[in-house]
Amino acid sequence: MTEASNAGSGRKRLRVGRLLLAVFFVAIAAGSVIASRLGWIDRLRDRVQGRAPRLAVGDFPAGVMAPLDDVVKVPTRPVVVGLVPRGSVAPLLFAAGDADRVGLFRASYAIDVKVVTFEREDELRKALVRGAENGGVDLAAMPVSSLAMSASLLRDAAPRVVMLLGRSRGHDVIGARPGISSFAELAGKRVGVEERALPWYVLLWGMSRAGLSMRDVQLVPLSSSFEAGAALKAKKVDAVAGFVGDVGPAVQEVGGAIIGSTVDAPHLAATVLVARGDFAARYPDGIRRLLRGVLDANAAVTKDADEAARVLGAMAPQLGDPVEAIRAAPPASLKDNLAFFGLADEAPVTYHELFDSAAALNQKLFAAPPPPSAEDTADLGALKYVASARGP
């Protein structure tokens, strides 16, 4: 009886042991799955073996996909250009045409151009990195300051500046509520601005003139520069940086004042056309045709801005009067381009100076990694070709 009882107890302990062992292995398996999904295993492996280098498109030259001959010069699909609406891009919008009108690019230079607009400069930068084949853009109209201060983020796009579109001559402003009449009086105040956008850069310039540091004001992030006027009227901030067509009416409504603008610094804010490096290398003739079309459109708009203003107003009514928007950011001529890039004549501020100063400011404020040289970000072959073909 005792032996049978002992045998029964032994079998029971064996079953319990097997069950516990099975539960143990199941727990290990489940824990491994959970740890893997949470990334714990990868982090442990990185600590023991070191982090594996991440491969990126920017690790290879932008021109590796360029054709071996001259057969492919222009893309067979529409060229996708991204931009944040402002006066200086109105000629480009007009030249691109739409579903109801054949644009200058197609009519005169046999190239289809599709324009995509963005509310935020950050979204535009991301679209340039993705590229048109991945839902992004081939080229982007960007401020030089934005390009320089986002150099590390744009590395995989291998950006190449191909031309100057225009400068801000009052398009970007800083407006304030009553009681604030100068940049010095922004000390301790809330200032609404879209971070890293062109009005933000103009705001920093104004603060530097007043001797203010980044700690002297409370920067309130706005989701878009187009929301600056609404933020000022809603009393969410004491001052805003944005576009004159949006901020100006808001300032008048609240009884405030425009305390600074690019009228005071007409060579501070320049918008350039930036191509992805791989696109510029694969389709050099496409870039040349695009530049010709933009320069033709710029010249036409300088003479008569009405039609381009109509297109700009329909696409971006938040800019206010489109004619005034174009006057506040006039399009650049071929002569302006050559001077800006140091190819002919002289300019008070060149592309290289603007890029280098913005890049240095980015390092000073945010301890950013060293940027590429301004020389490495410009591809002026197409501009030189167009200039030589048109003559003096």
Give 301-330 as a DSSP string: HHH--HHHHHHHHHH-GGG-SHHHHHHHSP
pLDDT digits (tens, 9 = 90+) for 248-258: 999 999 999 99
How do the domains of the chain map onto residue ranges?
57-169+267-390, 172-261
57-169+267-390, superfamily in CATH? Periplasmic binding protein-like II (3.40.190.10)
With 80 as the cut, is the pLDDT of residue 212 above it? yes
pLDDT band at 100 (very low <50, low <70, confident <90, very high): confident
Fold held by 172-261: D-Maltodextrin-Binding Protein; domain 2 (3.40.190)
With 80 as the cut, is the pLDDT of residue 113 above it? yes
With 80 as the cut, is the pLDDT of residue 43 above it? no
pLDDT score of 28: 77
User: Would 57-169+267-390 and 172-261 be classified into the same CATH topology?
Assistant: yes
pLDDT band at 27 (very low <50, low <70, confident <90, very high): confident
pLDDT band at 13 (very low <50, low <70, confident <90, very high): confident
> Could you tell me the two tokens for 230?
């609404």
pLDDT digits (tens, 9 = 90+) for 326-376: 999 999 999 999 999 999 988 999 999 999 999 999 999 999 989 899 999
Report d(CA 222, CA 303) in Å as an integer: 36
- Of 302 and 73, more confident: 302
pTM: 0.85
**Strand ranges, E, within the chain:** 79-83, 97-98, 101-102, 113-117, 139-143, 160-167, 172-176, 190-193, 218-221, 239-243, 257-261, 270-275
Report d(CA 65, CA 92) in Å as an integer: 27
pLDDT band at 185 (very low <50, low <70, confident <90, very high): very high
